[in-house]
Structure 1
Amino acid sequence: MYRSNLPHVLSFINLKGGVGKTTTAVAVAEMLAHELRKRVLLIDLDPQTNATINLISEKRWDELDREGQTIAQLFEDKINLHRKPKFDVEKAIVRGVSTVDGGIARLDLLPSSIRLIDFEERIAMISYNPGFLISPLDVLRQALEPVLERYEYVIIDCPPSLGSVTKNGLRISTGYVIPTIPDIVSTWGIYQIVQNVRSFGARFGRVLEPLGIVATKVQRNNLHARVMEDLFHGRLGKFSEEGVPQPRFFKSRIPLAVDVARGGDADAGLRTLKSKYGIEAYEALHELALEIWALCEARCH
């Protein structure tokens, strides 16, 4: 049974970029906080910082980055133990974020930085630093220990890789979601994700299973319809060949919508989530948040 005093921590992962991973992660976090009234922390582990800029202004992000209050600084501090650390999780977390209505009261953000690119390859080496007493994959977990119990849900936007940064996110995750465009190119790596994450969890004596696959940027064409039919029936690629069960396929289908791009503008003056995402995308994303909430609640019982 899941410990009720800890949050559900869900990583959003796909090895391919451009599949709507960040948009889906941000929207689910906003829906859980605003519509379902849950206390939510979104952690941006992607050095592209798209989730961060989706939720706060570039000016605010630049201030935080200059002050050393982003994820990049957390890892830089651990790499350079001879320097006085700058990162403070209490100062780094931005409270009440979103482009909607001046911010959502229950939604907080731990921002990323493009400087994180510089540290991906060096994270594995920090265990060689004299005085470093924890695994390089536990850096994020250790930093979040003082704050995790404040939240009911933690949503992690991971970079499109299974490197050390993503593994820091998986180390604290209770499950993960795989957003994908329903085409051949975007779905081919899903088997590798599931196998690698399963092996990673086993290293720490944990069962880390996917919550499900969600179709994103869906268009009304024959290819998308055929791939979604295969996903629905569990016929995705190597899963059937290797005898490994394919993750569930969420009922929600996130449409390709131009309104979603506008929703990432912190200065757009948006008042509601419907205006941010457009009616069709809003309804699909709201349904997805409800599906995720129901699956997480079922794990508690």
Structure 2
Amino acid sequence: MKSIGFFNNKGGVGKTTLLCNVAASLAIQFKKKVLVIDADPQCNASAYLLGEDHLEQIFLDNNFYSIDSFFDPVRRGQGYPQQMPEIVHSERFKVDLIVGNPKLSIREDLLATDWAATRNGEHRGFQTTYVFKELISRLDTYDIIMIDMGPSLGALNRAVLLGVDSFLMPLSVDIFSMMAVENIMKSFKTWQSALSDAIKKYILEEGNSFNIADKPVEWNLNFAGYVMQQYKAKSKAGIREPVAAFERIITKQKDELVELCSFFDSDIDDLNLGEIPTLSSVVPLSQQAHAPIFELSARDGIVGSQYTRVSEAAEFFHKIAANLLERVEK
């Protein structure tokens, strides 16, 4: 089982659309057993994968054991619960889902407060910080677990990133996305250093390591790669012409990515998983139908030239899924 967080601390980069369609490609095209965990309090992945009636039924059910409920015993200092969050199925995406919950945003305070305890080497802190790693470790019947994350470098996303095997970074060509890479790099260095010291303190205090699934925790996050969202460019005689301002950003962004790849002892050329063109005409239809873009048809409202966009989407998403599989299965 491989777990992958889809992460960028800048919003508007098409993260959830990318995750859901790549997840569907892995399930439909590559016959993988895929689970999506919606760890974004905005719950966009849940709203994309499930119909409104299904979501309403879940949120109105007081007995539904949610991802947020998994935190309750941890908050009370009772350790990890035996009960697991309920798993539902997305029929058209062909993936399973642990539905998101807006209450996860409240857990940010718990995770932030207990991070201080983690840095002091305290058992309570480690238990809270590694709650997602514990959750993921119990889901080993899946081939791939993909986690949707909000655009933040806060405590919630830190806990997710310390729990997954690797992360994938969606990028757009803009100055803020470029700055996000730099911020991520700084945060990773800080977290890695703090965790290294915390583990030493824990072992000194407890006389043994803190284990999840019988394995000692450590900084072992990998970079699965990045996907670039193409910018809109003018075409002349059917040929896409570069735009100088965007090309400057791409050049600077590549410099930042080289540094990030170096941090993970990887080559940037191996981490480019593909590009996504502008699919604005079909994304709303995909969201409305709760279906992958590459599976849309006339019954979903596809007409005329949109069939070409659907066909192109199949090519792009299947290629990215194939490249991602190659990366994580090395």
Q: Distance in 1 between matches of 2:291 and 2:34?
A: 20
Matched position secondary structure for 1:235: helix
Please tell me whether Structure 1 or Structure 2 has the larger radius of gyration of its CA atoms.
2
Q: CA deviation at 1:108?
A: 0.9
Residues 167 and 205 (structure 1), Cα distance of their counterparts in 2 relative to 1, 3 Å cut: same
Q: Distance in 2 between matches of 1:238 and 1:30?
A: 30
State the Cα deviation string for residues 234-289 of structure 1 (Å, max 9, x = none): 4238939xx85785552521112121222122xx2858734287222332121111
Give the alignment partner of residue 255 of structure 2, picking from 235, 243, 261: 235
Partner of 1:120: 108
Give the alignment partner of residue 290 of structure 1, picking from 295, 319, 322: 322
Confirm whether residue 55 of structure 1 aligns to residue 44 of structure 2: no
> Structure 1: any 5+ residue segments left out of the alignment?
1-6
Partner of 1:162: 153
In the TM superposition, 1:1-301 aligns within 5 A as 7-65=1-59, 66=61, 67-80=63-76, 88-89=83-84, 92-95=86-89, 97-98=90-91, 100=92, 103-104=93-94, 107-125=95-113, 134-146=126-138, 148-201=139-192, 203=195, 204-216=217-229, 218-220=231-233, 222=243, 223-228=245-250, 234-236=254-256, 239=259, 247-248=268-269, 249-258=271-280, 259-265=282-288, 268=289, 273-275=294-296, 278-297=310-329, 299=330
Taking structure 2 as the reference length, what is the TM-score of the superposition? 0.72
Number of residue pairs aligned between Structure 1 and Structure 2: 273
Q: Distance in 2 between matches of 1:178 and 1:271?
A: 20
Matched position secondary structure for 1:61: helix
Q: Bigger shift: 51-60 or 211-220?
A: 211-220
The 8 Å contact of residues 226 and 274 in structure 2, kept in 1 or not, is answered as: no
Residues 29 and 237 (structure 1), Cα distance of their counterparts in 2 relative to 1, 3 Å cut: closer
Larger relative contact order (Cα-Cα within 8 Å, sequence gap ≥ 6): 1
> Structure 2: any 5+ residue segments left out of the alignment?
118-122, 196-216, 235-242, 298-308
Residues 36 and 126 (structure 1), Cα distance of their counterparts in 2 relative to 1, 3 Å cut: same
Taking structure 1 as the reference length, what is the TM-score of the superposition? 0.78
Residues 237 and 175 (structure 1), Cα distance of their counterparts in 2 relative to 1, 3 Å cut: closer
